[in-house]
A and B are shown apart, each in its own frame.
Chain A
Amino acid sequence: MNLTASKNNILKLLMTVWVILWVVFVIRESKHGQYETLFKLYKTPSPELKMRELYGGELYDFLVFCSRNIPQGSTYELIGFPKYALNEVRARFFLWPLRQDKKSPDYKVVYSDIPVETKGDYVKQVDFNAKGALYVRKR
């Protein structure tokens, strides 16, 4: 390399610090539980079980139920998910081609720890699990 000796030494020092930090950051990821999740996913055999591992069993099973029991072409509204929550976008993604319609949905998909009141037009179809409930619009 075309470098003066002092610049060469500075760059070597910086590169050494950089490599050390790089290794530290790679190892540090284990603090956030990322590797634990990854190894669980690697051990999980099927894609469905991987999804269940990631979404959480309660949510995943509930979404599977909804996707199978809400007729194609129907619309739904998600209730009980915090705004901008990852679970909310997971649900919309999973349920497609079912479409969300907040104005006048055919179904209300409720997923909440707290009991949710729905307007009188909707009747509870099923309490799927502790958090998940499906409401259908009265005909």
Chain B
Amino acid sequence: MTSQRTLIAALLIVLALVAPLVAYPVFLMTALCFALFACAFNLLLGYAGLMSFGHAMFFGMGGYFFGYVVKTMGLAPEIGLLAGVGGAALLGLVTGALAIRRQGIYFAMITLAFAQMVYFICVQAPFTGGEDGLQGIPRRALLGGLLPIDSDRTLYYVVLVLFLFGFGLIYRVIHSPFGQVLKAIRDNEQRAVSLGYEADRYKLLAFVLSASLAGLAGSMKALVLQFATLTDVSAGVSGEVVLMALVGGLGTIFGPVIGAFIIVAMQNYLAFTGEFVLVIQGAIFVVIVMAFRKGLLGEFSDWWKRRRAG
């Protein structure tokens, strides 16, 4: 089993390395940004049992912080990424501390409401550029000028490294003692509390962690596409990330990545249908909730297990 896993991981990495030779790099980079975003979301829902319906606020604000630091303040992209992560973490700390005061479905509604508040603030605040957003964020060279990223192909590898860093971090967190406690809280909060774990602290830390990684994903997207807009802080994107995690499989480590690639590809290829993309997304939600609640990866691994057993 372990050797099989290593093999799959090695195959995937080779695939990721050669991908820009066959596929359009900007598409791959966008998909990777959303994949990290979906993994960050899944860390919260799949492993801590916290359903945030406002994750776009961290993703979108990450992009704005990056854009502001790099374009308006004229600093290096690395500082922009740090600002995106730090800003999203801070926002996560404030909203998370309030949201974890309620449980279950209320938690989802509260995060949704806060995200809407952030959206309204972004519409009006001077530093976001309002309806226009921040456009033409320069792609300055990385590592103090040593690594120019004007070429999409070079940038792809930078984005891949950042993604792998975030993904690896999530993997480590899930398999750490901290991750085990999170799962315990998800499965039976009262029991975990009775065993002496301060559930709220764990939840808040998981929330901040997830928010920071969503912020990183948002900053990466701004780095790639060179703009930050209101769309990325809107409720629509909060819904999209839920859909990505759901399509791939909640609580599976790799599922959200698959989900993100599918949804981003779908949006690219169906963009010509206009509003109809929303209809299709909604229909996928309905079908998954009604029939495939485990998502692609979850259903597949079930089928695989059945096949091996039978």
* B is a partner of A: no
